[in-house]
């Protein structure tokens, strides 16, 4: 499990995750991901294109990050989840709590400049 | 003939690595069995969530063993996870309430909810001091009935049907009568009053198996006696495919030894043809059935006969081994005779000018070649 970050137009930060968000994967990125997503106010798109698997511990990671960023007054949204990952998010109901976009561009446009 | 189910077993130490190990194991097996990607994904998710639950709650982060079984049939796959933690039925957990905002959402508690949604069937059972959780994927109606579906105790009425209607009282009658007609003729129930049996059959199930189904596996816990109603069973001591097997015809039963001493099954039992079994649960067998005086005597007669047949097989095997030994002794003797017929050194005594050496070694005990030296 690894991730990369880059800056998108409109002061939006993209965090692209890659790998399996299972127990090992979540633990591997937990500290760095939490720091990046909740350390300061920001508009963040978590790009899930490279995530092939999501378990409940991964859901917890995403929810903690989204809640932390909301507390800072910023935004954290999810984008480009593969169908199996999207199905897990929908089953757990987190698509009702964290905005989910079909691709990175629509996610960026939704939170840019806010 | 339907293809028999393929079983795979794995025992893991509880710990942080367990879920990852189980996931790799399950994905590798699923790939070997050509399971479609979506079903493998569902299995993967359930196995990780279930193991995680066992590690965190059943063992509370401490040491413990987690036993896994994966069974593949062409239509379905079945995962069973067993732990020795305190009794806990995850299926009794209420489904999580959908939170309306991120702030009041519970973070976590999704594991079992996901399992229930991503598995096509779930079952929990507490048995022999362990929690058994079974999750089925695919066409689970076609599952071999080895999956434990029985209830922990007698059914309490009223029962609710799947369509929501109620069953007010026990309405079973035909199947009971049919099986009763048969069981009064089988060895275990010989000369037992019909009325005494009727009360017991009410606590038993009739189960159908296709040809080649594995009914019992060696070293698996066995908590019921199986009476062959129709068809026949084959008992394998070495493995489900071994040639060495004993037939159990209609009227006979298996499992009574395990129920009596509480130990695991000692052999593999496979159906030799389409077979109908009467399943008598351990407690029913021990408390109700053995309380009937005639049953105890019938059981002793059956066990004595089985022991006698076993002894005959042992004697036959020893006799075979002794005959083989005698044959080998004779061959060895023949080898020594043949060797003694070869000329020994010096080959040409008294003729010091000629030096001559010979050596012969038979490929096995006795060979057909011969040599000699003529001056």
Check if A90 contacts B (Cβ < 8 Å). no
CA nearest neighbour of B152 among B123, B175, B120: B123
Report the pLDDT value the prediction gives residue B4, as an integer from 0 to 100: 65
B351 at interface of A, judged by CB pairs closer than 8 A: no
Instruction: Show residues of chain A in contact with B20, CB under 8 Å.
Output: 22-24
**What integer pLDDT is reported at residue A6 of this predicted model?**
92
pLDDT, residue B2, reads: 54
Q: Phi and psi of B102, rounded to 5°?
A: -60, -30
- Tell me the two tokens of residue B320: 């075979």
B173-339 to CATH, choices 2.40.10.120, 3.40.190.290, 2.60.120.10, 3.40.50.1360:
2.60.120.10
CA distance A78 to A43: 11
CATH topology of domain A2-109: Transcription Regulator spoIIAA (3.30.750)
Phi, then psi, of B57 in degrees rounded to 5: -105, -50
A70/B52 CB distance under 8 A: no
Query: Model's pTM, two decimal places?
Result: 0.54
The predicted-structure confidence for A38-50, as pLDDT tens digits, reads as follows 999 999 999 999 9
How near does any CA of chain B get to the CA of A85, in Å? 10
Q: Are B176 and B205 in contact (CB under 8 A)?
A: no
pLDDT at B150: 40
3-state SS assignment for residue B84: coil
CB contact under 8 A, A56 and B38: no
Which long-range contacts does A92-97 make (Cβ < 8 Å, 24+ apart)? A92/A56, A92/A59, A92/B110, A92/B113, A92/B114, A93/B96, A93/B98, A93/B99, A94/A59, A94/A62, A94/A63, A94/B105, A96/B98, A96/B99, A96/B100, A97/A63, A97/A66, A97/B99, A97/B101, A97/B102, A97/B105
B1-95+108-149: what CATH class?
A: alpha beta
- Tell me what pLDDT residue B145 has: 43
Chain A contact for B113, CB < 8 A?
yes
Q: Which residue numbers in chain B have pLDDT < 50?
A: 1, 142-153, 175, 177
In total, the C-beta contacts within 8 angstroms joining chain A to chain B are 65
Q: Calculate how close chain B gets to A87, using CA atoms only, in Å.
A: 10
Gap between the Cα atoms of B301 and B320, Å rounded: 29
In order of A2, B105, B267, the CA distances from A29 in angstroms are 7, 23, 48
Task: Please report which helix (H) or strand (E) contains residue B257, including its range.
Answer: helix B256-261
d(CA B36, nearest CA chain A) in Å: 13
| Residue B23 with chain A: CB contacts under 8 Å | 22
Distance CA A48, CA B192 (A): 69
Whole-angstrom distance, CA of residue A57 vs CA of residue B108 = 8
Minimum-distance CB partner of A23 among B48, B102, B105: B48
Cβ contacts (< 8 Å) between B114 and chain A: which residues? 55-56, 88, 91-92
Helices B111-118, B37-53: crossing angle, 10 deg rounding: 150
Beta-strand pair A12-21/A43-54: parallel
Question: Residues B282, B220: contact at Cβ < 8 Å?
Answer: no
Query: Which chain B residues contact residue A66 at CB under 8 A?
Result: 102
- Give tens-digit pLDDT for B79-112: 999 999 999 888 888 777 777 788 777 776 788 8
Domain boundaries, chain A: 2-109
Angle at B101 between CA B99 and CA B107, to 5 degrees: 60
Quote the CA–CA distance of B232 and B250 in Å, as a whole number.
6
On whether any CB of chain B is under 8 Å from the CB of A34, the answer is no
Contacts of residue B100 in chain A, CB cutoff 8 Å?
96
Please answer yes or no on whether A91 and B113 come within 8 Å at the CB atom: yes
- One pLDDT digit (tens) per residue for chain A, 114 residues: 888 999 999 999 999 999 999 999 999 999 999 999 999 999 999 999 999 999 999 999 999 999 999 999 999 999 999 999 999 999 988 898 999 999 999 999 999 877
Residues of B in contact with A59 (CB under 8 A): 110
Strands B224-230 and B233-236: unpaired
The whole-number pLDDT of residue A19 equals 94
Residue B184 has what pLDDT?
Answer: 62
In B, minimum Cα distance to A88 occurs at B114
In which residue are the tokens 């939490």 written? A34
Q: Hey, where are the domains in chain B?
A: 1-95+108-149, 173-339
Residues B208, B278 contacting (CB under 8 angstroms): no
């Amino acid at each position: 499990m690894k991730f990369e970050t880059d800056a998108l137009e409109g002061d939006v930060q993209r965090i692209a995750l890659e790998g399996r968000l299972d127990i090992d994967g979540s633990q591997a990125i937990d500290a760095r991901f939490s720091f990046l997503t909740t350390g300061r106010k920001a508009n963040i798109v978590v790009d899930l294109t490279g995530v092939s698997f999501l378990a409940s511990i991964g859901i917890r990671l995403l929810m903690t990050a989204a809640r932390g960023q909301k507390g800072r007054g910023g935004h954290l949204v999810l984008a480009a989840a593969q169908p199996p990952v999207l199905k897990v998010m929908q089953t757990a109901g987190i698509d009702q709590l964290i905005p989910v976009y079909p691709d990175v561009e629509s996610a960026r446009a939704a939170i840019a400049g806010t | 003939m339907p293809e028999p189910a393929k079983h795979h077993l794995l025992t893991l130490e509880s710990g942080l690595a367990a879920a990852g190990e189980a996931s790799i194991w399950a994905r590798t097996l699923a790939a070997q069995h050509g399971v479609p990607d979506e079903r493998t994904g569902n299995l993967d998710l359930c196995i990780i969530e279930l193991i995680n639950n066992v590690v965190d709650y059943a063992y509370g982060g401490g040491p413990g063993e987690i036993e896994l079984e994966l069974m593949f049939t062409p239509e379905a796959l079945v995962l069973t996870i067993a732990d020795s933690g305190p009794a806990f039925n995850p299926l009794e957990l209420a489904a999580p309430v959908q939170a309306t905002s991120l702030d009041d959402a519970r973070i976590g508690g999704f594991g079992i909810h996901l399992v229930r949604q991503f598995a096509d069937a779930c079952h929990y059972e507490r048995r022999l001091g362990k929690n058994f959780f079974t999750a089925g994927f695919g066409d689970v109606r076609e599952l071999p009935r080895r999956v434990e579906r029985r209830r922990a105790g007698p059914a309490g009425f009223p029962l609710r049907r799947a369509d929501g209607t109620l069953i007010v009282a026990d309405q079973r009658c035909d199947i009971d009568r049919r099986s009763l007609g048969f069981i009064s003729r089988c060895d275990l129930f010989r000369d037992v009053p019909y009325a005494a049996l009727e009360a017991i059959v009410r606590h038993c199930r009739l189960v159908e198996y296709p040809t080649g189904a594995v009914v019992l596996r060696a070293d698996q816990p066995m908590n019921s006696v199986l009476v062959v109603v129709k068809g026949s069973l084959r008992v394998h001591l070495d493995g489900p495919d071994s040639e060495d097997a004993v037939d159990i015809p209609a009227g006979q039963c298996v499992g009574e030894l395990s129920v009596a001493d509480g130990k695991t099954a000692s052999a593999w039992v496979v159906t030799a043809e389409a077979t109908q079994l009467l399943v008598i649960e351990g407690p029913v067998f021990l408390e109700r059935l053995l309380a009937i005086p005639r049953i105890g005597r019938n059981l002793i007669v059956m066990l004595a006969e089985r022991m006698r047949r076993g002894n005959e097989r042992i004697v036959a095997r020893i006799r075979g081994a002794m005959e083989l030994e005698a044959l080998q002794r004779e061959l060895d003797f023949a080898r020594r005779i043949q060797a003694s017929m070869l000329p020994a050194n010096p080959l040409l005594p008294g003729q010091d000018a000629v030096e001559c050496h010979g050596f012969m070694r038979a490929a096995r005990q006795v060979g057909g070649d011969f040599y000699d030296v003529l001056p």
